[in-house]
Amino acid sequence: MPVAAPRRAGRRRRLGLLLIGAVLLFALLGPWLIGIDPARQVLADSLQPPGLQHLLGTDVLGRSVLARLAHAAQLSLGLALLAAITAAVPGVLLGVAASWHGGAVERALVMLADAVMSVPGLLLVVLFAALAPGQHWALYLGLSLSLWVEYFRVSRAVARPVLAGDAVQASRLLGFGGAYLLRRHLLPALAPVLATLLAFSTAQSVLSLAALGVVGVGLQPPTPELGLMMIEFLPHYEEAPWLIAAPVLLLMGLVLGMMLLAGEREVQP
């Protein structure tokens, strides 16, 4: 029985990698392989069912759903990954700096993090989106500013016992500098936790972008985006239910893959 949990975790990880890999391939190669302009309208083909010409059918304006879905996956996943990685860099550096220096530096950084956390993350993104409606950079900046706090808190919590440990104290007595301590002691302790957090924050960013698109304060039409596609397809769910199923299933597959991949880290012995 002791080996059952690692085996189940390995299967979950493989399934997560498979789902994420499929979405990545679709996002990277889909627009090139499909070769159809996602904004091209053919009103005569309005609400065509899935077929050989259009594998996922067409929307009410006669646009290819498959082409729009591929560009939407590329946009949502790319923007979410960029925001998560951008948030991770300052968050980790500030978290390590807070644990390293302690005292007034740590108190100031903790107060800054608490101030950012007092504003709900999605509300912060909405505020930036309101300043520049429909602009990619506004959503990216809002997501990054709402995500860095989690990286700060996690890296600070992980770095504190490591820096106070015997191994780090011995390295300092032997004269090793900060770069060596960071590379030899801190990064190995931070890497597994940050990998899990990166998966969670990327999934959170994808969901946030979709939610903003649904309520109409994110990216604006005719930009292909998962949330926008859902709200565009919703009025036609009775006559063309396959339309809304496409972005919903893609979003579910992407988020499920991220969760399975992140969950693998948590069950490792």
The domains located in the chain, with CATH, are 73-252 (1.10.3720.10)
Q: Give the DSSP per-residue string, 31-82.
A: HHHH---TT---GGGTTPPS-SSSTT-B-TT--BHHHHHHHHHHHHHHHHHH
| pLDDT (0 to 100) of residue 260 | 83
Q: Using the predicted structure, report yes or no on whether residue 1 has a pLDDT greater than 60.
A: no
Mean pLDDT of 248-262: 85
Please give the model's pTM, rounded to 2 decimal places.
Answer: 0.82
Percentage, residues of the chain above pLDDT 70: 94
pLDDT digits 0-9 by tens, 112-135 = 998 888 887 778 888 888 787 778
